[in-house]
Each structure stands twice: as structure tokens, then as C-alpha cells.
Structure 1
């Protein structure tokens, strides 16, 4: 079968790979849609230190069950499903503590192991989530939104709080949805007018142009600063802005990660008595929360999907995203299972 394969930085091509067969406890899934993730873009750019080449990318998955191995219960051929694409060791401190999303030995599909940008994948049955009553394409939005929902849970957002979201890419939009679900007033900041329009359409109360002057624009809305700032860019400027802009005794959560060390004035950590937290991947509870939210807001997918392309056109779309990242929020690749 055909697959998209990143063979080296800057080169993605269509290749032939073997069709997998499910073993005991495994499920074969005919892939219908896969969303391009920011990690796929960094792999294409040669900036993902976790990736070796060649690599089939893709871990935002929508598909249908094609076959089940022996010992699998609760799943049947033809069911619409998505996949929890993180593979944890089950033995490290994070796994033992009930946080497999932060596994020290984690392997994510499309990053440390082969991904889903192909016709069929086989995964353990425990990684498969059946989804009912949603458009098949939108199942591929569940995983990236779940990363945002997890960040909101890490921030312990409560009803009535104000949340500033720095960055309105797909993860940032997931954060917006998760914060709205928690009852927060959301302020979204980004450099892209188009992404701010999407954030507003999803329910952000205010949208602000990022960059220099953001602090003044924000203080005009919330003079004491927001209760929570969630950073979803992964840039030095926004890492520093997060602690500068958050209210005294507020919480900062980082989802993006900067590619180089950052120098902080650590005095502000103490004078504001801040809670500063990281957020990684997502847990099954986050996936289920997203499924509930997207089921109740069926128009959200149309707001965030920028383009849908065929597998044959996927290399071109990846290069276009590389050249103009601000022009795209979510690129979907449609495969044979659609």
C-alpha cells in the first residue's frame, strides 16, 4: 500500500509499504483522514530531535475498524474510531503514577515510530476509541484538541476565570475550546489575522494581535492580567510574555517548547507567586471530553480545517505549509478509508 514518507529533511514522497496484519489483542484500522501536526512539520524541517529517517508521519487519525485480532472485545468491523497515538512503557515513574502521557520512554506514532499517513494501521486494541455520531473527518481533530484540553486541565481552569491563549494554531484552538468548556472567558492572541478570526468564531471573547504591544492591548481588557496564560507557540518571546502578562498569583502552562534555552528574570516567579506548569500529550479523559465537545459543536471542524488533500497531493501540501505556516490551521489528508 502507499504511504507518505519523509525520507530526509525537506523531502517527502509517496512510497510503497507492506499492509499490516493484526496479531492477538490488536486492531487493523482503514485510515480515512490524518491531520498534519506541528511535529510533522518540524520533522520535515529537520528540527525534531526525536525523529529518525525515513519516517511515515501522522498521528491525528480518523478511520474505521477493518479487522480485529483474537482476544479483542468491544470493537467490530466498520466502527468509526480514532486512536490514542502515544505508546508508554508502563514502568517509569510517570506511568506508575497514572500519567502515561508523560512517560519517560514514550513513543508517539509518526515521531518515534511509524505513523498513520497510509491506508491501514495496526494498533493495540486499548489505543482504539470508538466514536459515534460525528463526521468521520472530525475524528482526526480529536487528538490535537485533546492536547489543548489537557493543558486546560493542567491549568485547573475554573468557571468565571479569564484565560489568555498565546497562539491560535490547532493546539491553541483546542485550548480555547477546552477553556470555554470550563466556563472561562477566553482572550486569544496570535500574529495571524486569519487564525484570530477562527478563534473568535469558536467563541473567544476577545482576540488580540500578538507581538510588541500585546501587553498594553491586554491590560486595556484586564488591567490586573488574566488568571491563566497558556502558551501554545513555543517561542522565546511568548515564553517570556506568559509570565509577564499573567496576573499576580496566576498560573502559566506551557504546551509549546522553545528550541533553545531561555533566560528568565526569576524574581517575577516569586513576587507574583506564580504556578508554572508543563503540559504534555493527553489522557483518555481528555479524548472523551473532546468527543463530547465536538459532538455538541458539529460546525467546529469546518472552522479549523484549512485544506483537505489526497495522499498523492500530501507532499505538496506539506511543502506549502512549510513555506507559509501562517496560512494554514489544519491540513487534512484524505485516504482510502474515507
Structure 2
């Protein structure tokens, strides 16, 4: 079986691996699509927390079941499935509270354990969702879009609320689109005007603000001096995350969706006078996956506009450096098997 392995920082290789062996309550899944996440790129460049080498990357996955035993979900060979890549313990305080996305002993495929950049993988049956009515591309994009769905659910957005989303990458786009579904008025902030324009055309945001010295004032003008009651930072950039407090209204909230391998700090008086809340949003739950799949079945979001770059499995090791270049203008890349 072929697999792409990140053997060390800046080294991604295609090599042969042993075939996986299916155990009880597991399914053998043939991988058909792999989305390339910021996590994969950070791991390749040595900037990913909780990471060790060598590692098979990949957690945005679409596959087809090859082998499976009797199961309550009625899954069977030939079913197209989305894979929930967050392997939780089921008994820690978070799991007991239904918050499996932040399990104390979390094992994320492609980060803590080997992921899906290979031809076949074994997955717990509990972490598969039948993807009927979805294309393979849509199925692979369920995971990144679910990150946005979870962040919006954490925020408990109200219809008509003015929301800022910083970062118009694939995760930020998902946050914007789900926030619009929740009835929010969305202000997108990014340095890149092409990404901002995509946030309007794909996610339907209401206002575009380029991240520069005038951005805070622009948000103030848009919100009539109130600023945003909810701000999401989806950049994974320490500077942006440190500065995000500026956009938050008094009594508002800031949700960190992106992850950065650095300390985050802010000026306490600015935080305290707002009596604001700061929330982390990690991974997603089955509920978030099912919400996104339901929306995708309505065909409201075009994957042709969300996915900007493609490669075959054989091309993957050589494509990473290309996609990392700003000149490539990648928003979301996907690998086809």
C-alpha cells in the first residue's frame, strides 16, 4: 500500500507501507479524496503543536468502505463515507460532558496518530458517517467546514448580530458561511483582497475590510461605533490573535478558531473594560458534521469555488512546496486517488 509520510520537517515522501488490519468495530476504508489543511502545512514546516515525526498526515478525508462487520449504523461495503478524525477516549471529563472534540486524551488522525494520506485506512465504525447525496469533493470538505460550524455553535450567534471573521482562508470561509446561515451580518477581514472577494462571492459576507492600519476604524464605521458582538479569529497568526480584541464590542466575545504555536497576550484594561468573553473552539463533533452535510446536500455552496488546487496522489510530495508559496494563491487544495 502506498502512503505519503512526513518523515521530518520539510521532507514528505511517497513510500510503501504494510496494509492495515481491521479489528472488531473497525472498518477498512479506501481513501478517495484528501483535503490539505493548515495543520498539514504547519506540520511539514515544523510549526504544529502536539506533533512528532515521522507521521502520515491527512484528516480531511472522503472514502469508500471496503470491509466492515455488523453495525448499528447499517454501514456496508461500498458506502461513501466522511471520517471524523478525532479519536476520543469516551470516559474523560470532556467526553462525559458530550464534548468529545476536546477529549483529554485526544488523538487526531494525521497529528497524534497516522492519518489518511494513504490508499487504505482502518477507522472505528463510530467515526464514519454515510455521505449519501454528496460528491467525493464535498465529503472531504465536511471536516474543515465542520470546524467553522462548531465555532459558530460555540458562539451561539443571534439573527441580525454583527460578526467579524478575521482570516478568509478555508476555515474562515466556513465560519463566515455558517454565521450567515445563522442569520448574522458578517464583516470579513483579511490582508488579501482576492480572498476577501471570495468571501463575498462564496460565503456571502456583507462587508469586506482589508487588514491594515484603517481596519479598526472601518469596523467602527460599519457598526456605528459599537464594534462586533462576536469576533472569530481564524488566522492561526499570533499577531492577528493578539490584536483581535480591538474589534470586540463591550460585553462581546472573541472566539479563537485558529491555533498557533505561541503565547497570546493582550492589554488587560482593554479586556476588562469590555467584560468580554474569550473562547477557544477546537475540532468539531458529530453534530457539527451532520449539520454541514445537511447544508451541503442543499447544494448552496460550490466546491468548485472553494477548492482552488488539485493534485494526484503521486504528485502530492512535490505539490506541498508549491502550495506553500503565496504566488500559488491556494485557498483549499485537494488530492485525488
Indicate the TM-score class for this superposition, using the shorter chain for normalisation: over 0.9
Aligned match of 1:186? 186
Alignment of 1:126-137 (within 5 A): 126-137=126-137
Q: In 2, are the aligned partners of 1:34 and 1:61 still within 8 Å (CA)?
A: yes
- 2:59 and 2:34 map into 1 onto residues whose CA distance is 7
In structure 1, the partner of 2:257 is 255
State the match for 1:204 in structure 2. Answer: 205
In the alignment, is the contact (CA less than 8 A) between 1:233 and 1:256 conserved in 2? Answer: yes
For 1:284, which of 262, 283, 286 is the aligned residue?
286
Q: List aligned pairs for 1:117-196, cutoff 5 A.
A: 117-196=117-196
SS at match of 2:4: strand
- Number of the residue aligned with 1:102: 102
Aligned length: 335
Question: Does the aligned pair in 2 maintain the 1:24–1:72 contact within 8 Å?
Answer: no
Q: Quick check: 324-333 or 192-201, which moved more?
A: 324-333
CA contact (8 A) 2:161 2:184 kept: yes
Do residues 56 (structure 1) and 56 (structure 2) align? yes
1:300 shift after superposition: 2.3
- Ranges of 4+ aligned residues in structure 1 off by more than 6 Å: none
Partner of 2:6: 6
The Cα shift of 1:323 comes to: 2.8
Of the structure 1 ranges 241-250 and 317-326, higher mean CA displacement relative to structure 2 is found in: 317-326
Q: Is the 8 A contact 2:245 2:254 kept in 1?
A: yes
Matching of residues 23-34 of structure 1 within 5 Å: 23-34=23-34
Superimposed CA distance per residue, residues 71-120 of structure 1 (whole angstroms, 9 cap, x where no aligned partner): 56510111111010001122221112211101111010100101101111
Matched residue SS, 2:179:
helix
Correspondence for 1:65: 65
Give the Å deviation of 1:20. 1.6
Which whole-Å CA distance do the structure 1 matches of 2:230 and 2:154 have between them?
Answer: 11
What are the superposed Cα offsets for residues 11-69 of structure 1, whole Å, 9 maximum, x if unpaired? Answer: 11101112223221111111110101111011100122322211110000111111103
CA-based RMSD: 1.5
The answer to whether the Cα contact below 8 Å between 2:49 and 2:261 also exists between their aligned partners in 1 is: no
Find the counterpart in structure 2 of residue 321 from structure 1: 323
Distance 1:142 1:13, change over 3 A: same
Alpha-carbon separation, structure 2, partners of 1:72 and 1:156: 32
Gaps of 5+ in 1: none
Which of 220-229 and 231-240 deviates more? Answer: 231-240
Change (3 A) 1:261 1:310: same
Q: Secondary structure at the match of 1:188?
A: strand
Contact 1:134-1:298 within 8 A present in 2 as well: no
1:257 Cα offset (Å): 2.7
CA distance in 1, matches of 2:328, 2:213: 18
Match of 1:19 in 2: 19
Cα distance in structure 2, aligned partners of 1:180 and 1:204 = 7
**Contact 2:322–2:328, Cα closer than 8 Å, also in 1:** no
Q: CA offset at residue 319 of structure 1?
A: 1.1
> Any stretches of 5+ residues in structure 2 without a counterpart?
none
TM-score by length of 1: 0.95
Specify the SS of the correspondent of 2:56.
Answer: coil
In 1, are the aligned partners of 2:28 and 2:68 still within 8 Å (CA)?
Answer: yes
Partner of 1:213: 214
